[in-house]
Structure 1
């Protein structure tokens, strides 16, 4: 039996309706250390509604079979569900179905791009793959905000090809220095790769400005959309990015499923990254011919149940409406940053209250290590993220080694934000400050 949505389509999110919506999320009824769970770590991974959990369970109970490799009834049904999921996800981000590649996570999606470029740089797939080839004299431009998943793969590609890695520095508030971006992005720039929303600072980067700079010099644009697709309306065609990556587990879906978006004409000419079964048309002992994209990038047994569950997560978000999601998280984010900055000895990172930002706030508590902050909050049932958030260079630029991060989502209430702020206010006194 399908679990009905707690909210009718298009319901405005506020404290009352969010309380209804929380009925869809079984884990939110959990107690931690004898306290009602306040989950403020959705920037790391989100919780799953019944509908998503049941969609994956239903697949295993009713249609479990390999896709694209059988003619029996279950194989046909599972393949149809798998490809329907691709269609749903494509529509959600303003893409065509053949522009969506399933990956294990966003990290794999970003690695797929760089490894494909490396293969092109070694001559694989030539002459069609030559536009993706890099060599000495070429430059890759990133930003100082990047998650390690959008930094290390490019470091390795630069080492393999002799290309030079450059990065856009930050202003004092952590936003990108666009004057330096104009200087750094030149005719030598082959790739510009950057995060849509910083997972530490919460700032929403000016995609249109950066894409325009890249287009002027003919560079490919890669967007890390992990912190944007789950939280705001995103249309990759309208943004005019060449590639984008996001993951399911940050948007109500299970772990083990990610998405690479790429313009169809680019996927058609890129050499594959993973090779093996299900992505070939002909194999001899000396060579192989590959299927058309996106299938040529999906070797081996696929993430079938996870893709189906991701599609259900998309339907869940669409039922709410991404404008509603963004508006509610904006309110929660402003409440977070305003409250944090009113506490003595606590400093938020990123844009100040009143400025546009996502519903997450990382902060530094003077004199207290982030791990101690997180542990004390956990004693009160509050889940936050501590550490460098896979962004060591960014923390270094901010003069920190680590921070604590509170990140909200559709199922959080203003009451939970206030509970968090009340407990955070006690941290410094607990440690003797």
Structure 2
């Protein structure tokens, strides 16, 4: 912008100076043409101006005010011949034609600063820098150029005018450049502020993404650990079920098979009836053991039930089975939960209430359920409790370990803590927003 301002300023100043000089030359030409043209018509036939006309010109140009402004004047003929001069010694001499003279002979008014090295100026020992104005003098009848008047004008007033014009042009260009630079600065500043704002937002977004990434990594690790632990627990449960079936119903059925052989060998009806009675008792015991084992494997039909109804069913079954009382605080649960969350909540309540009955004898059994935004929170607490080591996870039972893995596999948080007034608090929190939408 500064380089452009300098170039524009120099170009404009040059144009203004040239235009001012041309205007000055035109005004001077109009003034002198009315004086010189009537007195120089004899130059059509004469080489130099006759003495009478020369004396008249000397009188007109000799006035003090006129001579201060125009100290020197020559009338040139073609070829560099001086036909008249305010310096009499130059009349009749020939000099190399100046460039202004050549243009004026073609009919143009021209102006230029004096060349102090020109021979005609060296003769007069001119040391001041005048403005040379060349004015074509025309014949009255034909209008052709018969001579050229060279007038030397004092440049003092012209220089002052040029100085003010240059100053005004530089101020105008500088002001316009300043306004443009201020405007550009405003645009760049606003753009910079926008970029800084977007940068801050991007950095905040990157921090959020990094936090989310770390959270997802934690959830992924939990899910992987939970999946491995669930597989291990499933294998342990299968082994336990296999052991229960082998040690209970399988043994009884094997005993029943032996009793069948005794019934076949019995000869007396009374002995046969006795063996059949024993066989019936053994089969009844085997059937009861099988039902007992199966009862722990079957989950009630909860797919179509809302969560508050599931909580009521678990609590009702627990109260009927243990003869204890459970206090329930359950807020409104809106939205549809997935079966995975329902099953997790069912098993959590079932295991939590069983532990409350086992460790606290059913004292102060309380179930609390609430939905905070998209987070489902379930709590089972009592007035008794397990040992501190148990709460620290050192001797958790198979049920609590299974619950932890089940909750963490859904991306939730499982926590066992001791209440301030005594008792144990078991809590789970699961985000249900995405699951509910899928449901």
TM-score, normalized by length of structure 2?
0.19
Ranked by relative contact order (alpha carbons within 8 Å, sequence separation 6 or more), the top structure is 1
For the pair shown, the structure with the greater C-alpha radius of gyration is 2
Please give the TM-score of this superposition, normalised by the length of structure 1. 0.20
Higher helix share: 2
